Amino acid sequence: METLATILHADLDAFYASVEQLLNPSLRGKPIAVGGGVVLAASYEAKAFGVRGGMPGRRARELCPQLIFVDGHFKDYQRLGDAAIAMLGDYTPLVERISIDEAFADVAGCTHLFGSPADIAATIRHRVRTELGLPISVGVARTKHLAKIASQVAKPDGMVLVDPKTELKPALLHLADRVASRLRAKSLAGSTVTVRVRFADMRAVTRSTTLDAPISATVMLAEIAEELVRVALADHPQERTITLLAISVSQLRKQPEIQLDLPLELPDEKRRPGAKKGIARWTADRAIDTIRDRFGRDAVGYAATALDGPRSVPDGFRELAEKEL
């Protein structure tokens, strides 16, 4: 079956830092940062130490004492960014540039000339690497939003294709990850899970369920949300296109620690925070939270999550994240 994933999002990796390493080969493989008082961009070698764009230079040096600061060469950034984006135009006229180092391209009308969207993405990546000497990540998906998410997952220097037949689950896992991590950061857990589904005609439906025990584990929340979305879709079989998903958790309470359950085999054991499987999931999430606190959100996560996009609208009663599809 022919895929509908024809939107590409191309994003040059650690662009400013990669250009500096291109201009000065002695910097390759070393942790560098563009800037001084504030980090404008960091190489992946620096990011491995937790250095990130926007970080004060003093903090960056504390995290990575061997960090090399370099001045920016903005004319070169513009020149090389223009050249990379121009390569997209060699395959389709439908190119939308959104920054100096990233752009969308719709290749639906040119697959008969250049191959599948994945083939086109691979060709673009090869050309940028060989002709310009720069790494670039490309996401391929049905929508611009998902393509941008996919390119973030593909970093550094890779490609990810989001199959329309399987895009629902990773999208929900991403939302659950955003919501659950904020709950855990506040030592909260919630008993009621609600999903909101909006269809192409702008009609929206909600489905919710209340659990026996409050949860804050990412995978638990994602599984429950997926079940609720499946129910919503079953109730509206004529609707095949989802344009927005939202997950919220309410009936919140403080959860400073997990109360262990009796060692019984329960039907919903993996979703009970105090059961053996529930504790394992909660422990894994806590480990992820600890690593992210030190090295940034992109440092670690669930393999299927691969999603990073707009963001939450939290209030005092629930944690909400929405994703346009």
- The pLDDT score that the predictor gives to residue 120 is 95
Q: Which of 20, 62, 96, 102 is catalytic?
A: 102
Amino acid type, 21: Q
Active site residue 2: no
- The pLDDT score that the predictor gives to residue 200 is 73
Give CA torsion, residues 116, 88, 310, 53, to 10 deg: 130
- The pLDDT score that the predictor gives to residue 98 is 93
- The pLDDT score that the predictor gives to residue 129 is 95
Q: What does 128-187 look like in DSSP terms, one character per residue?
A: IIIII---EEEEEESSHHHHHHHHHHH-SS-EEE--GGG-HHHHHHHHHHHHHHHHHHTT
The architecture of the domain spanning 1-165 is 2-Layer Sandwich (3.30)
Residue 312, CA atoms < 13 Å, CB-side half-sphere: 19
- The pLDDT score that the predictor gives to residue 323 is 47
- The pLDDT score that the predictor gives to residue 136 is 94
What is the residue extent of each domain of the chain? 1-165, 168-324
Q: What pLDDT tens digit does each residue of the chain (325 aa) get?
A: 344 788 999 999 999 999 999 999 999 999 999 998 899 999 999 999 999 889 999 999 999 999 999 999 999 999 999 999 999 999 999 999 999 999 999 999 999 999 999 999 999 999 999 999 999 999 998 888 778 878 888 888 889 887 766 667 777 888 888 898 888 888 888 999 999 988 877 888 999 999 888 888 888 898 899 899 888 888 887 765 677 888 999 998 887 555 544 454 545 555 555 555 656 666 776 677 677 667 766 666 565 554 433 333 233 333 444 444 4
In sequence order, the 6+-apart residues with CB closer than 8 A to the CB of 96 are 103, 104, 105, 144
Between CA 83 and CA 289 the distance in angstroms is: 39
- The pLDDT score that the predictor gives to residue 62 is 94
Between CA 26 and CA 290 the distance in angstroms is: 34
Q: How many residues does the chain have?
A: 325
The CATH fold of domain 168-324: Dna Ligase; domain 1 (3.30.1490)
**Interior/surface letters 9-18, b for 16+ CB within 10 angstroms, e for the rest:** bbbbbbbbbb
Q: Which residue has the tokens 């070169």?
A: 76
